[in-house]
Chains A and B, each alone.
Chain A
């Protein structure tokens, strides 16, 4: 069985790098992008087992990207990563179709744990 594919959409290069390094070390195949519009395009064209989607980004906001994916019938699970705002955003994201929401400040290990929970049953 091939390695589970994870898409990381995160505009801060360091965070993206650290997430990628940690997830790859845990056996996931990672694609990373830093811009809302790029994310939209990649998500429309490729399939993933899980997507980590930052809310605040250049191009398009995370929530907008998520809405457009859903409208296009993309069904991969999406975890929203952000949280400068209150619970309204969390609820909105979950309503639109996110499976989970990680609020700031968060740790890389926490993200890894949540990814593992979501991908239980999928190797590794």
Chain B
């Protein structure tokens, strides 16, 4: 009896991992179809026209800044130079204890202004609002500390345009990215409420005057593994989910929103670690509940680059934070699970996400312990279990390779040695990071949710990376 139970537990675990990998492969196939269609639309669309057209929606870029004195000036510069017809930049200083405000005031000749506005979302008090005397559409909101979400909300209150994009001060946005993202608002103005961009690891690339001048792969294994991971998430998974109307995360690092929609659902929440996913889920729930047609889409060609952790310690903290954020969101939106009222999200997207993102670490971790244990104690025959485990790992590796293939059309890493390195790390990811990540995410489940975090990642700042104008520094 016990033997049979143990046997089936083993098969259950191995089967689970196999199904998970199969699901990823299916998703990658859906992504492939979506990317092809998107590519077709893009080629026959009017991207060039959008760059100069009067119908292109004006966008407010909101940059929340907490102790960003190192990189904030360079970040504003590169944002102001993006290729887009009508932009407004709102930097929100979230009660920094450093010279973030002073740096901006000096660099851009900013002066305090009287700026009457009616706050649509409640935030911590605003101390002062500055405007640049240079011919730059730049506004600085100096407010008391309230967290990243609170800062974005203050930016929304002050913004003048009907669409906004929230980003991080250390993101490097590609010149055409805004146009690629805004295209979706133009194509379906009535229904589109949010567009998520494609976030890529910056490590290894050359940065010059606040923009990526030479894309290359990072050298350190820890960074390479993340590169492979990001490619899988942003190219093999998100296009597929997006095409199925089930994009559950619009990245906080690159998310463009219809302002009225975000205000309608009450703005970003401060009590969530993953405020970007929480907002995306809230929008889904809101519109599905109201039975109002809407779209939340992913734009793979809207690219922004960010530095990913280069030490295991910081990566560990980041992953634990992400997983805890996920737990909060799952708890918040548990009512949507298998609820037919929420259609494709309730029945497919959300349950699949929970089963394979949230539960996976526990099953996989137990699997690494129980399966070898069962083999050692003779409950399970190695001849059966080992091939299954290898099949699961192989399938995982195939998935990584498939996503590399999907990424190839973007042409960032075209050289032979780059392809080989990507291939190598696609396989290596499954022996190393995967297990560590599983352990971290398992550990993340035991915590005290009352702790508040603004973000543990140590910032070197875009200003640091780019050096003085014209100078080149290799990052990573």
Q: Which residues of A contact B (CB under 8 A)?
A: 12-15, 17-19, 84, 104-108, 110-111
Contact = CB atoms under 8 A, between A and B. Distances in A.
A110 B134 CA distance: 12
Given A13-B77, A13-B209, A14-B80, A105 B469 contact: no
Contact of A15 (B76, B131, B134): B134
Contacts of B131: 105
B111 to A, nearest CB: 8
A117 B134 CA distance: 22
Chain B contact patch, size range: 10 to 19
Interface in B130-144: 131-136
Interface in B105-128: 107-109
Nearest to B209: A13
Nearest to A104: B133
Contacts of A107: 135
B136 A15 contact: yes
A111 B135 CA distance: 10
B135 A15 contact: yes
Label chain B's interface by main secondary structure: loop
In terms of DSSP, what is the predominant structure of the interface of chain A? helix
A87 B109 CA distance: 19
Given A17-B80, A18-B81, 20 more contacts: A12-B107, A12-B108, A13-B77, A13-B469, A14-B76, A14-B108, A14-B134, A15-B134, A15-B135, A15-B136, A17-B81, A84-B109, A104-B109, A104-B134, A105-B132, A105-B133, A105-B135, A108-B135, A110-B135, A111-B135
A14 B109 contact: no
Contacts of B132: 105
A14 B136 contact: yes
A18 B80 contact: yes
A14 B133 contact: no
Nearest to B83: A21
Contacts of A84: 109
